Structures are given as C-alpha cells and as structure tokens.
C-alpha cells in the first residue's frame, strides 16, 4: 500500500529543498473547487525542460465522462474511490531527447477521510506490477500523507516506466512516466516531481496559488 504518514501533515522531503516558489504556513486539508484543482496540476513553468502537450484542466465528473484515472478492482471499490470524486484533471508533457512522457493527474474529494479511503483502493490498483511485470518500489522521499512509487523495466511504452501515487489532504495525486527508449527517469527526478506536485496540492489547500516547481535544466 506504500508509506503512510501522520494525517494532514506535509513533511518536506529532500527533493523539496530543490523546489522554487514553495508556500509556507500550517498544512490544511480543505476541499478544492474546479479552479483550485486545475491550479494543482503542473504547467510548463513547473517542469522546465519538458514540452507540454496537454494543458492543466480539471472538470466535474459526469456519468458519461467519469474520471479515466480512477480505476479499481471491483465495482464496490469504484463506488468508494471514484464515485465521491468532486473534480479531476490532468496535464501531460514529453521530452524528445530521450523519448519520454510525463503525466500528472489529480482526484479531489470533499474531505480527507474520503480521500484516505480512495487512496488505499487506488494504491492497490496502481501499486505492484500495474506499471509492468517485476516492478520494484522507488524511494521518493516523504511527500504527502501517504505515497507509493513503482518502476518496471518494461512499461506501457515498451521501455522503463514508473507510477507514483500520493495523498495530500483531500486530494489523491498520480504521476506516470514512460519511454520507448532504454533509460528510466532517474529516482531523483521522480522524487522531485513527487515533492513538487505534493507541495502544489498543499499550497492550494492552504488557499494559496500553487507555485512549486522543479529546478530548471
């Protein structure tokens, strides 16, 4: 299920020390509206060196267009993890130099308890071998209240891939990388993405405009 930390607290991991524009103040677990959920998603400024091909965008789930990033093993689990989603969205990037893609998604919930229950179900789905056979956990510091990251040598794009999931207060965040090349995105980069994304979610829940970003290349 990954690593669980104290409820509602956002400890700053080693990678966070590299971030720019990080907010301060006490950690909160506030429900996000559509605009705030969109603002959590990284934009081009947050991940320099990557080309954005899907702009940050969040929406309210509707029956004919449910959250595609919310997947569970059973119908009952989907009711717990996916039906309560208030807003969801994604942003996506690519890097031609090593034929790698980078995807972020956010699932927002009405309160921390609902997000916590959803995280456990989603971690069961996205954890382990979901990214590819013989996946191994990746150490990503200590972002969010709960987190898990796994890498497989052969992912969905035929090269190394990773899937990271983080819960920050009332949100569950996801990050995936994939490549048609041979080189995996290094652990330190995965750690920096996780710290940055978790900080943006916390900034939004603190009522701030998310500004966390990873260092420029």
In this prediction, residue 6 carries a pLDDT of: 33
C-alpha span between 201 and 56 (Å, rounded): 13
In this prediction, residue 131 carries a pLDDT of: 85
The answer to whether 101 and 177 have CB atoms below 8 angstroms apart is: yes
Helix/strand/coil for 193: helix
Q: Please give the radius of gyration of the chain, using alpha carbons only, rounded to the nearest integer.
A: 16
List alpha helices for 23-149, DSSP H.
Answer: 34-40, 75-81, 112-126
> DSSP code of 111?
S
Please list, in sequence order, all residues whose beta carbon lies within 8 angstroms of the beta carbon of residue 65, skipping any fewer than 6 positions away: 59
Please list, in sequence order, all residues whose beta carbon lies within 8 angstroms of the beta carbon of residue 97, skipping any fewer than 6 positions away: none
**Distances 167 to 157, 187, 201, 217 between C-alpha atoms, Å:** 26, 19, 9, 27
C-alpha span between 190 and 139 (Å, rounded): 9
C-alpha span between 166 and 195 (Å, rounded): 10
Tokens of 217: 């290349």
One digit per residue, pLDDT tens: the chain, 217 residues?
Answer: 565 543 332 233 333 333 444 444 468 899 999 999 999 999 999 999 999 999 999 999 998 888 999 988 899 999 999 999 999 999 999 998 888 999 999 999 999 999 999 999 999 888 777 888 888 999 999 999 999 999 999 888 889 999 999 999 999 999 999 999 889 999 999 999 999 999 999 999 999 999 999 987 5
Would the pTM count as exceeding 0.95?
no
């Amino acid at each position: 299920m990954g690593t669980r930390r104290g409820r509602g607290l956002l400890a700053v991991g080693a990678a966070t020390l590299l971030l720019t524009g990080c907010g301060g103040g006490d950690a909160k677990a506030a429900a996000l509206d559509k605009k705030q959920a969109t603002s959590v998603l990284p934009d081009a400024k947050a991940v320099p060196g990557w080309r954005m091909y899907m702009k940050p965008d969040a929406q309210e789930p509707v029956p004919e267009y449910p959250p595609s990033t919310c997947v569970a093993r059973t119908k009952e689990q989907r009711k717990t993890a996916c039906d309560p989603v208030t807003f969801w969205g994604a942003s996506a990037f690519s890097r031609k130099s090593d034929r790698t893609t980078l995807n972020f998604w956010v699932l927002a919930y009405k309160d921390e308890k609902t997000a916590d229950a959803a995280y456990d179900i989603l971690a069961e789905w996205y954890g382990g071998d979901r990214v590819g056979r013989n996946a191994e956990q990746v150490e990503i510091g200590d972002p969010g209240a709960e987190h898990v990251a796994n890498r497989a040598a052969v992912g969905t794009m035929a090269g190394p891939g990773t899937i990271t999931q983080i819960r920050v207060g009332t949100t569950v965040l996801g990050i995936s990388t994939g490549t048609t090349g041979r080189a995996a995105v290094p652990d330190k980069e995965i750690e920096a993405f996780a710290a940055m994304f978790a900080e943006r979610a916390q900034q939004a829940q603190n009522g701030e405009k998310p500004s966390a970003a990873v260092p420029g290349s």
